[in-house]
Structures are given as structure tokens and as C-alpha cells.
Structure 1
Amino acid sequence: MSRLQVVSGKGGTGKTTVAAALSLALATEGKRTLLVEVEGRQGIAQLFEAEALPYEERKIAVAPGGGEVYALAIDPELALLDYLQMFYKMGGAGRALKKLGAIDFATTVAPGLRDVLLTGKACEAVRRKDKSGRFVYDYVVMDAPPTGRVTRFLNVNDEVAGLARIGPIHNQAQAVMRVLKSRETAVHLVTLLEEMPVQETADGIAELHAARLPVGRVIVNMVRPQVLDAAELELVRATPRTALAQSLSAAGLGGARRGGHAERLVDPLLQQAEEYAERYALEHEQRVALTELGLPLHELPLLTEGMDLAGLYELATELREQGMT
């Protein structure tokens, strides 16, 4: 397993939920996982029913087997202060620059700098070791930007390394890209069984390959349960309306106690069956398209009662059983 697991996906596919569930799945059997948020939405805190995350690594969950999940919401301004202290020993001067507004100015006028700081902080957590020489975190999971931006976000350090030919900035950018373009990293894409998310997933995979970034797996989220298969749908369509009405009456639906009007239920039920058949055909088509991408494919169920902490643990179990860990 790659130690840096990057999770992206089209907006609305539930990539933050999948990233959170993956961090729980990876933390089983005593492992320690860091879940990193880079978009400032505090989505992780909401999922884990916790207070807004500060710019510090904080334990937010315990996984089965005693593993631990830590979370970090990266703040670009504070990450820049870390950077200045780490490479230029400018702790006090950096804080003075922040008071003057220079740090905020730098991260606002240079969007690429924000991405450098965000990816750099995540990769630092991947490489960090304790005094005994062991990695502090077994895995780092990044809740990354959406599919349309993730390639440029991850590849920004390559551009920076080309612009700054020498010095600490060049060396830091190269160190980050050595992590991001190695087997230590896997970029997973979250999608739905719908045309637009599937197409964006295919486009995202092509862009990642072109940038020589390591693509991991495709995770289909919010998959609705299959009620009828193709053969059963054909049987419903082929059954005469009178036979359907008789079956409904025999089941006690619309029978004698309701005035013998089971036939009134036939048309609404047939309409529902037709709508289901259309959705079934669409989802089958999109599933085939995803399979043709040639990547490992995983599916997570739609949790009809909504997403809460128990739901996260349920999805984590699904990911473990499907071999994501």
C-alpha cells in the first residue's frame, strides 16, 4: 500500500466521506493514519462530529484493533510560516511578516504558492520519523481538490522546481515531487454511476497519466441496491396486467378489504418498474465504462439513513473487505 493516499473526485461524489472512511480502514490493527484537508471547508470535522480543526494534528477517531486517526486542516499562511522557519530559520521574522499582512498577501496573489505549501506539508508528514527512526504515520490520506484541479494541484511543485533552478525552494519542490511521483503515492478517484462524474473520472485519469502521477483505484460511491436484475425486469414487462392485479390481490394489496381495486395499483407499479429499468440500464452502462478504464474498481453503498459516524465505520469496513487496505 502506498503511504500517501490522495482522494479526489467530481464535486458531489462524496470524496471527503470516502477519504475519511479510507483513513479509518487504513488505521486498523494498530496503525496510525493522518487525514489531511487542504480546501479549508472543515468537512472532516463535520463527518467526525468534532469541533472545527485547528492547524495542528489532532486525534479524532479510534479504529478497530486500536488504530488511531489524526486529522489536520492545513492553513496556507501557517504552512508558509513553517516553511520559513524550516528552511530559513525565520520564526520571529515570519511572525512579524504575518502581522504586517505579507504572508496573507503572498498566499493570495500566488495561488500556485498555496498548492506548493499544501502538498509540501502533506509530504512532510509522509516522510516524518520519530527519534527511533520509525515513521510517525503509517499512512497519510489527503482529501484533495476536485478531479478538474487535482492534476495541476499535485504537479505544481514540478513547475516550481523548473522555475527555481537552485536553492532551498528548488530542493523542497524536488523532494515533494519525489514523493508524489513515486510508489509511495496513489491517487484514487471517487465517482458515481452517472454520465458526467464517470466522464470526468476518465478525463482525470488521462490527465494524471500524462503528468506521470500514480493513479490508484476508482471508487464508486453511493451505489443503490439492485432490486431487480435484467431477467426479472423482462418478466415484469411480459406479465399481463390482469395477472399482476391477481397477484397483488393474493398478497392482500388492494384486495377485498379495500374494495377489490388491486388493478389501480398496477399502473403506478409498472411506471416505477420502468423508471427503475431506465436507471438500471444507465448504471450498467456507466459501470462498463468504468471497467474499461483498466483500474481496480470498488463500490460503496448508498446509506439511506444519511451519513454519520456509524456510517463512516460501515464504509471503512466495506473498503477493508474489498481489499483497499
Structure 2
Amino acid sequence: MAIASDLHIVTGKGGTGKTTVAAALAMSLAGTGRRVLLCEVEGRQGIAQLFDVAPLPYEERKIAVGPTGGEVYALAIDPESALLEYLQMFYRLGRAGRALDRFGIIDFATTIAPGVRDVLLTGKVYEAAKRETGDRFVYDAVVLDAPPTGRITRFLNVNSELAGLAKVGPIRRQADSIMQMMRAPSTHVHLVTVLEEMPVTETIDAIAELGVARLPVGHVVVNLIQPDLITEPTRAALAADTLDADAIGAVLDRAGLPASAAGSLIDGGLDAAHRAELQGDQRAALEHCGRPVIELDRRPDGIDLGALYEMSDQLKDLT
């Protein structure tokens, strides 16, 4: 039997849409009939906003059903609640733990102590992925909306550092178990980016860092792809500066549009051609990252449940 449920960790630079991709991936997994837990750890309530539900408590709640009967549950993990749960689970400090919280000790521990927050957050993910009912796991898969690429390796590798400090005992065993799950073949770290230089560079750097830490990289998801609206003949004419503004103005006039818009139309075409060229450069850079790439188009009407279903169909290769 596997050591835990399949774990899909989704990271990406801010603004790339990683939470949306994580939600769509959870829907894709549920679309195959699986029971999926979608977790977030940054306290932004992004999952609740996407699925248009009330803010998530520290409690697993069903938020969606897949077309084939699969289910998506959601959990917002906060370190304070995770620490209270840990104290109750291992030390039976129910009321005493809540008393510590009132004195602010919980907040102190999770804010000041280096790495404690990430240890608690990854520990809760580990508990959910390992939880069993009868002879099977409670969840077939866990999807984690993880911290950004700039700190993803440290976040996932924090228990390896902890194991180096705690040479023996239950803390060492727990840290080793979490790292075993993080490095298991059933774990995949997917990176979300857009076709811009900074996010692409950060993605490529993160792939290298994850590899050094022996953490399993999955797919690169290129989100928010801008459609290329310019034909090759128009692109060539823009590059050669051979478009006639007067001729374009005459065409606009015959169509009942202001001829004066011709100059703005040409400028817009130049901007679109430049953007497409930049996207092409970044796409070429990602071709050499050594990981499979999936592209998702920008959705001008925004993201709702219907859009998540459509995106989930495009993410089937990740499941």
C-alpha cells in the first residue's frame, strides 16, 4: 500500500493564478471519481472566493462534486489551530492548550520560532494525506495551494532541517516520515507561471532548487496565455512599417467607424506583436526546463465554477 494519498503541491509566483490552478486540479481529480482534499496555507481564503462559499474554518468541508461522483473537500490550515490540534493529539492539552492561546503563547511560538509555522502546516497536510478509514485512505488525493515559488523549497524541506536538529525521538521520526511523503513517487510539485521574464526565471530557478532538495517536480502550468490576434502577413507588414494609415482609415470609414482610429489601430497591432514575441521568448525558455508544460488561456470573463470545470479538463495530464 502507498504511504499516503497522492499529493499534488501547486506553487507559483504571486499573480500567476496558482490558487485557481490548484482548484481546477482538484476538480480534475474529482472528475475521475476520486475524493479530494484541497488545502490552503496562506490565510487568504482564496478557495472560498473561487467556489463562492463562506470563509473556510479549520475544518474539512465539501465544496464541490465532480461529474462522475467525485468530491472536493476544502481546508484552510492555519498554524495556530494546527498547533492546538497537535497539543491535544499528542499531549492531551485540550483546555490547557486553549489557555495558552489566550495568553498569546501560541501566536508567539508560530511567529517567532524559526520554521515552526511551516512545520505545523506541512504536518497537517501529512496528517490529512495519511489518514485512513478501514483499509483505505480517507482522501484519494490531496491538493495543496502552497506558498510562492520563491520559498517553496524551504517550505517543503523544513522537516529535513528539523530532522537534522532532532537526532532521535518522536520529533525526528515525525520529520523523517513527512520528508518520506514529500519525496515519494506519489507526490508532485507543479509550478504555475505566466509568459513573463520574472515569473519564468523564478520557475526555472525553483525547478533547480527542488531538484537539489530531491523534491519531485511535476508539470509546469503556463497560465493566462494571451491569444495571438495578428496574422503573419499583418505581422510582417507591421515589422516592415508598410501599413498605410490612410488606406486603413478608408476601410474603417466604409465600415462606419472613425477613420481617425487608424493610427491607434496600428499602434495596438505593434503592441500585440511585441507581446507575442515576448511570450515566444519565454515559451522557448521553458522548453528547456526539463519538465512537461501545459498551457491555459486567459479567461477575459473571469473565473467561476464553470471556468474551473473547463480548466479541469485541460489539466487531466496532471492527474
With normalisation by structure 1, the TM-score equals 0.90
Correspondence list, 1:69-88, <5 A: 69-88=72-91
Alignment match of 2:125 (pick from 122, 127, 131):
122
Letter in 2 for 1:211: A
| Corresponding residue SS for 2:133 | coil
RMSD of Structure 2 on Structure 1 (CA): 2.1
Alignment match of 1:305 (pick from 301, 313, 317):
301
Aligned residue number for residue 314 of structure 1: 310
2:183 is equivalent to residue 181 of structure 1 = yes
Shift of 1:163: 0.6
* % same residue: 57
Alignment match of 2:22 (pick from 16, 19, 23):
19
Alignment match of 2:68 (pick from 65, 69, 89):
65
Partners in 2 of 1:141 and 1:60 — Cα distance?
14
Partners in 1 of 2:238 and 2:104 — Cα distance?
68
| Corresponding residue SS for 1:22 | helix
| Corresponding residue SS for 1:254 | helix
Partners in 2 of 1:310 and 1:283 — Cα distance?
27
Correspondence list, 1:165-176, <5 A: 165-176=167-178
**Counterpart contact for 1:87–1:168, Cα < 8 Å:** no
List structure 1 runs of 4+ shifted beyond 6 angstroms. Answer: none
Aligned residue number for residue 218 of structure 1: 220
Aligned residue number for residue 41 of structure 2: 38
Partners in 2 of 1:165 and 1:120 — Cα distance?
18
| Corresponding residue SS for 1:197 | helix
Shift of 1:45: 0.6
Alignment match of 1:277 (pick from 273, 280, 294):
273
**Counterpart contact for 1:221–1:299, Cα < 8 Å:** yes
Letter in 1 for 2:291: L
Partners in 1 of 2:114 and 2:20 — Cα distance?
26
**1:73-128 Cα deviation digits (max 9, x unpaired):** 01211211222233333334333333333222211211411100100110111111
| Corresponding residue SS for 1:217 | strand
Alignment match of 1:286 (pick from 279, 282, 291):
282
Alignment match of 1:228 (pick from 226, 230, 234):
230
Cα distance change, pair 272–257 in 1 and its aligned pair in 2 (3 A) = closer
With normalisation by structure 2, the TM-score equals 0.92
| Corresponding residue SS for 2:219 | strand
Shift of 1:307: 1.9
Letter in 2 for 1:179: M
Aligned residue number for residue 51 of structure 1: 54
Shift of 1:162: 1.0
**Counterpart contact for 1:254–1:265, Cα < 8 Å:** no
Shift of 1:208: 0.8
Partners in 1 of 2:203 and 2:249 — Cα distance?
43
2:208 is equivalent to residue 209 of structure 1 = no
Shift of 1:240: 5.0
**Counterpart contact for 1:241–1:266, Cα < 8 Å:** no
Q: Which runs of 5+ in 2 are unaligned?
A: none
Cα distance change, pair 239–96 in 1 and its aligned pair in 2 (3 A) = closer
